[in-house]
């Protein structure tokens, strides 16, 4: 535990989304939901070689994700993605969300904390979930030109040190807050290290809490 922050500091409660508040990843299942099984499978075939290169550690996780986004999101209308995200949230909320995680978010809101999601998944896809939870959202931003996605990111993938940088860009000096954080993978390590009150796989079974991906 680090020092608790300035006396009387505002609490900033930050939740990772995929695997922390959810039972599993949300973005790839969203793509399957939005594009349909046949089109999803057809496009995923294009990622077979990059996937092997990632497993052989020839490309990074961020590079693989960039190729995934280019494959699925290039030339797609932003409004269409927003509509599909709303439908995905409505159709999958109950099976996707961890009840204990949702309750923890509600508890943090009730305590008066500033509460936000901070996720590597595209903010465009997670916005309906953040809205339903009633909290703010920081996520990976997709570039949009004239209402159409270009298949590129705006800024960096919101993962690892970029989570802390994005939080600082929105909330200013994190040292002015008492930072509470929840995460579940190595991609949350820097966020958890920055927090005075850090929770790793807090909503997982005891067996899974000691394992990292």
Judge whether 138 and 117 are in contact, CB under 8 Å.
Answer: yes
Tokens describing residue 23: 């039972």
Taking the CB of residue 164, how many other CB atoms lie within 10 A of it?
19
What phi, psi does 136 have (nearest 5°)?
-80, 170
User: Which sign does the torsion angle of CA 131, 43, 212, 194 carry?
Assistant: negative
Tokens describing residue 104: 């923890």
146 exposure class (CB count in 10 Å sphere: 0-12, 13-18, 19+)? exposed
208 exposure class (CB count in 10 Å sphere: 0-12, 13-18, 19+)? exposed
Sequential pLDDT tens for the chain (213 residues): 344 566 678 999 999 999 999 999 999 999 999 999 999 999 999 999 999 999 999 999 899 999 999 999 999 999 999 999 999 999 999 999 999 999 999 999 999 999 999 999 999 999 999 999 999 999 999 999 999 999 999 999 999 999 999 999 999 999 999 999 999 999 999 999 999 999 999 998 765 555 544
Helix, strand, or coil (residue 148): strand
User: Which sign does the torsion angle of CA 169, 191, 93, 142 carry?
Assistant: positive
Q: What is the pLDDT of residue 4?
A: 58
> How far is it, in rounded angstroms, from Cα 79 to Cα 82?
5
CATH 3.40.50.300 fits 10-209, yes or no: no
Pairing of strands 148-154, 136-145: antiparallel
Q: What is the pLDDT of residue 213?
A: 46
Pairing of strands 136-145, 177-183: unpaired
Report how far apart, in Å, the C-alpha atoms of 15 and of each of 65, 81, 182, 204 are: 21, 23, 5, 14
**Alpha helix positions (H), the chain:** 27-35, 37-45, 48-55, 61-73, 78-96, 99-110, 123-133, 161-171, 189-194, 206-209
Judge whether 108 and 180 are in contact, CB under 8 Å.
Answer: yes
């Amino acid at each position: 535990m680090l020092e608790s922050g300035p006396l009387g500091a505002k609490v900033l409660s930050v939740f990772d989304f995929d695997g922390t508040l959810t039972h599993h990843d949300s973005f790839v299942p969203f793509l399957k939901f939005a594009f349909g099984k046949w089109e999803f499978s057809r496009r995923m075939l294009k990622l077979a070689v990059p996937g092997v290169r990632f497993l052989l550690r020839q490309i990074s996780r961020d590079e693989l994700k960039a190729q995934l986004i280019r494959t699925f999101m290039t030339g797609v209308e932003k409004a269409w993605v927003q509509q599909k995200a709303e439908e995905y949230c409505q159709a999958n909320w109950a099976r996707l969300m961890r009840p204990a995680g949702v309750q923890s978010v509600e508890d943090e809101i009730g305590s008066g904390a500033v509460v936000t999601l901070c996720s590597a998944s595209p903010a465009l896809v997670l916005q309906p979930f953040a809205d339903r939870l009633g909290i703010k959202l920081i996520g990976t931003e997709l570039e949009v030109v004239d209402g159409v996605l270009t298949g590129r990111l705006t800024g960096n993938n919101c993962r690892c040190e970029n989570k802390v940088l994005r939080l600082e860009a929105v909330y200013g000096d994190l040292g002015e807050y008492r930072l509470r954080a929840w995460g579940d993978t190595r991609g949350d390590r820097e966020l958890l290290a920055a927090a005075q009150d850090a929770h790793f796989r807090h909503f997982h079974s005891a067996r899974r809490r000691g394992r990292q991906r």
